[in-house]
Chain A
Amino acid sequence: MSVTLDLSSVSAHYGTTKVLEELSLSVKAGELVSLLGASGCGKTTTLRLVAGFLSPSGGTIRLGGEDLTRKPAHARNIGIVFQNYALFPHLTVEENVAFGLKQRRVEPAARRERALAMLERVGLAEFADRHPAALSGGQKQRVALARALVIDPPLLMFDEPLSNLDAKLRVDMRVEIRRLQQANNTTALYVTHDQEEAFSISDRVAIMNAGRIMQLDAPEVLYSRPANPFVARFVGFENLVRMRVAERMGETVLAEAEGGGRLHLSQQALGPIPDAFVLAARPEGLTVARQGEGIAARLGLRTYLGRAYQYRCETSAGELIANGPLSQPFEPGETVVLTPSLEQCCVLEG
């Protein structure tokens, strides 16, 4: 039984500081949505509001159509996996997993059976009688996952569940989390500051900043078609150049960069181009060349990336970051031209 999670115009304050501003978000049944952003962007606050650990100063939170806003946390029936595992230190692994079932007055025998079956699913059946202190970080997080899943909650929430694990384990765990979430077809809300993690695990990702959702889309859309400069920067479009259309020639547009430099841009490659816009380019989408059409630049620091050289470039539109081929290194101080490769660029409303 999958349900939807709906937040509409939810606001939150800490004292007089506003941490969430009229946030609206809808997670479809069986969908995994990530809240992605730097610390302080409001992602954890959002999760805590849904959990009931905080009360919103405005707006409503609905789960499967039922209004949760005034419901106490212990009555919400949401499985949560915490960053620091939050296992009960005084209980065994099995008792940890069975805790939620005990609250639901499940008979001891059935409780034990279900807890052990869940531990089996996360591969920890032989650790049932241990205490959490005797487990590794990865094992602890699997117990936490089992504990949240065993109550068969309509909604699962993850609060940076992998940030205390090492890199290899993080990848394994996120695959495991995704597999279990999909197998149970549970609606899930996942909080992280790690872009790779969010993109790899989610159906959709909400990129957050200063208490607002900047864009909510599938990872593929976020990565190739960011909706605004903030999201563009976030997903790696490090170069944002303000431009104006000088002349329209059918599908092709001749545009002028803010500090000078003219470019022919194809609307076939970039989509419709408004009169004033921002051209966003990843470093690998901006190539250094001796001559040709592009933005004039003076090369600064050169760094070696393995597959290419990367240059800090001074231009009249500010500092831009561009890549150059390994076969032809340029020296700092050289005057060059930066040419965008359009498949690595996108056009933003200016």
Chain B
Amino acid sequence: MATRIHPLLVAFAALVFFFLVGPLVIIVGAALSDTSFLTFPPQGLTLHWFSNIFEISAFRETMTTSFLLAFLGTSLSLLVGIPAAYALHRHRVTLPTWLSTVFVLPVLIPEIVFGFSLMKSATAAAGLPIFASLLIGHALLVLPYCVRVVSASLAAFDFSVEEAAVSLGSPPLKTFFTVVLPNIRAGAIAAFILAFITSLNDVSVSLFLTGPGISTLPIQLLAHMEQFFDPTIAAVSVLLMAVTVAVMAVVEATLGLSFLTK
């Protein structure tokens, strides 16, 4: 069963893979280089730049901020997103169609515009502390992922199951937690992970909302690059990639990645 494949197709596919994977390989290589400047292929091999991340206090602090922000922001977003997705599905006959669009606005509007308008409103106008406005910004940024992914789960949920529970004596709120939530659990977990990664890697929104004393890891990466052009940047990038891959691997192992693409 030999299928003939055109050599041009092979070349095209190879190019696509090269451009997809190439930069990542270069970053990993550069992070391992023994030189004090970014270079590829690496000259000599060292893990010094990885340990260097943790020696620079700005990286340590922003890493903590980023993870805390991703965790809290995503949790906050799910707290809003799950009930919103539920309501949009439960009452889709009576609710206007534009309402569901509102919840995906943060991805429809250019992120930089979104970040800027948040700076004007949260930081400048309302005068919120930096961390609070970052938290609000990230929660809003990832809300579309939460609503969308949870919606996909709800689309497969039969609401007469909920009615059955109510008819058997379970009050509506309790029914939500004991019957609806367990059946959209996979969607909620998938949403959490997608949102967590998005928040962790965000630059455009954070750029406007970070301020004196508080920054996120990707922003610190930019700041560092402006002054030093050493392999630490590559090492941080590899670290962010590794976290993303690790999270994905956990999802794959526990739920299967099909939850993300469904």
Question: Could you tell me which A residues sit within 8 Å of B by CB distance?
Answer: 51-53, 72-80, 82-84, 86-90, 99-100, 103-104, 144, 147-148, 151
Q: Which of B51-59, B80-88, B157-165, B189-197 forms contacts with chain A? A: B157-165
Main SS class of interface, B: helix
Chain B residues, CB < 8 A from A79: 167-168
Q: Are B163 and A51 in contact (CB under 8 A)?
A: yes
Return B63 CB to nearest CB of chain A, in Å: 37
Chain A residues, CB < 8 A from B164: 80, 82, 86-88, 144, 147
Q: Are B169 and A82 in contact (CB under 8 A)?
A: no
Q: Are B160 and A74 in contact (CB under 8 A)?
A: no
A–B complex contacts, Cβ < 8 Å, 28 sampled: A51-B167, A52-B166, A53-B163, A53-B166, A73-B167, A74-B172, A75-B169, A77-B169, A78-B167, A79-B168, A80-B163, A82-B163, A84-B158, A86-B158, A86-B160, A86-B164, A87-B161, A87-B164, A88-B161, A89-B161, A90-B179, A90-B182, A99-B165, A100-B168, A103-B168, A103-B170, A104-B169, A147-B168
Instruction: Say yes or no: is B183 at the interface (Cβ < 8 Å to chain A).
Output: yes
Tier of interface size on chain B = 10 to 19
CA of A144 to CA of B170, assembled, Å? 16
Of residues B158, B161, B175, which shows the largest number of chain A Cβ atoms within 10 Å of its Cβ? B161
CA of A83 to CA of B161, assembled, Å? 11
Question: Could you tell me which B residues sit within 8 Å of A by CB distance?
Answer: 158, 160-161, 163-172, 175, 179, 182-183
Chain A residues, CB < 8 A from B183: 89-90
Q: Are A82 and B160 in contact (CB under 8 A)?
A: yes
Of residues B158, B164, B168, B175, which shows the largest number of chain A Cβ atoms within 10 Å of its Cβ? B168
Return B182 CB to nearest CB of chain A, in Å: 4
Chain A residues, CB < 8 A from B172: 72, 74
Return B3 CB to nearest CB of chain A, in Å: 38
Given A82-B164, A86-B163, A89-B183, A74:B158 Cβ within 8 A = no
CA of A295 to CA of B151, assembled, Å? 63
CA of A104 to CA of B169, assembled, Å? 7
Closest to B157 in A: A89
